[in-house]
Amino acid sequence: MSNNTNGLLFAGDLLVSIRNPSTGLFGGYTRLQADKFEVKTPSDMLQKASKGRETFGQSWLTYFVGKPAEFALTLDELSQQALAMQLAGEISPLTQAAGALTGIDVTVVPGQWVDIGYENLDLAALDVKNTAGTTTYVNGTDYEVNPRTGMIFVPLGGAIAAGVVKLTAATKAFTGSVIAGGKRFSTTVKMKLDGINLITRQNLLLSVPQATVSAQDAYDFLSGKLASVPLKGLLEVATGYDSPFQLKYFD
């Protein structure tokens, strides 16, 4: 008869709290789907080798010196915070008010898309004229506007020559957020893995009071696959603790 009392098959819900770099305070925990949570406790080996006649080259004293605990984490749930960590980014609020763009100057280049200067446009009142305001061009024939990117395209050999046109449209009101990538290369977090041993049904809690995490791999925006965020970092000994992580068993 098999004995399963010592078997371990871990399943768990990951909860992550991110520290605000401005205040130094941790926020509330967010539960995220994780596909991997790997902890490594490396060490350096120190040793004394014998020079004796019969034991030359053999170790007579060996000691291992601990190194910072490492961890690797793969998140399958792409929250803005997770994506920001992957992109070494900083999140900030993004707002745009509704407003009218009346006869603004836009310099066009035939055969190329150029910036209008505003994104997320409302094209209900779209109108493009020549610099003098005497000629009205036809949308879809003389030019094309992408309202999301806020760009205008005029074809080569068309009615619009290189130069300035007068554009009328509007901006849509919206609120959101922006990730400034390549700006924050490490994030301090604390984590709890609310786990269970599926074999014994015993509750297990893995607690990480403080860790520094960074993205080590490139992020492919066009992978064609459901996105995951691989992260790596170091587990740190937080104030009030004497170890970088704790695994608790609950009966």
Confidence category of residue 1, pLDDT binned at 50, 70, 90: very low
Maximal C-alpha separation, the chain: 104
In a 10 Å sphere around its CB, with 0-12 CB exposed, 13-18 middle and 19+ buried, how is residue 153 labelled?
A: middle
Distance CA(35)–CA(64), nearest Å, equals 32
Residue tagged 């992260």 (tokens)? 231
Mean pLDDT, the chain, rounded, equals: 93
Confidence category of residue 126, pLDDT binned at 50, 70, 90: very high
- Per 3-state DSSP, the chain is made up of helix, strand and coil in percentages (nearest 5) of 5, 55, 45
pLDDT of residue 59: 94
What is the three-state SS of 56-108?
A: CCCEEEEEEEECCEEEEEEECCCCHHHHHHHCCCEEEEEEECCEEEEEEEEEE
- Secondary structure letter of residue 222 according to DSSP: T
Distance CA(208)–CA(194), nearest Å, equals 11
pLDDT of residue 103: 96
Is 251's pLDDT higher than 90? no
The type of residue at 67 is K
Among 146, 152, 149, 148, smallest CA distance to 166 is for: 152
pLDDT in tens, 219-250: 899 989 988 889 999 999 999 999 999 999 98
- What is the rounded average pLDDT of the residues 169-189? 93
Confidence category of residue 78, pLDDT binned at 50, 70, 90: confident
A 10 A CB-CB count for 173 gives 12
